[in-house]
Amino acid sequence: MLSQPPNADKGDEDNQNLTLLPEKMFACLTMTPEMEWRELERRVTQIQRQFALLIQKWETKYLLTRRSNTDQTKWWSAQGRMVLSPHYQLKTDILN
């Protein structure tokens, strides 16, 4: 056991005045985070293909690189981050 000063708080009252949140306030995941990431990755790559001409213009301007995941899906990134095309619904879904 670690030594403590004689008058140190021992934590006996740490669980006082707590409020438990109701279950409905927590997100219910229907997929694992990895499955959600794969689905998001799939959507982004699909939309990147729709905006291929624009992304080609961005390639040198923003130093974009092609990356691929384990299933060889290729997507564009900048500074290690996935590039989002100007697709309103995708951006809205990500932010919500």
pLDDT of residue 27: 67
Q: Could you report the per-residue pLDDT of 73-82, keeping only the tens digit for each?
A: 788 888 888 8
Angle, helix 33-50 to helix 88-95, in steps of 10 degrees: 160
pLDDT of residue 36: 78
Q: CB-based burial of residue 78 (10 Å sphere; 0-12 exposed, 13-18 middle, 19+ buried)? A: middle
Question: For residue 52, how many C-alpha atoms fall within 13 Å in the half-sphere facing its CB?
Answer: 4
pLDDT of residue 92: 84
Q: Could you report the per-residue pLDDT of 17-68, keeping only the tens digit for each?
A: 667 777 776 666 555 667 777 888 888 889 999 998 998 898 888 889 888 7
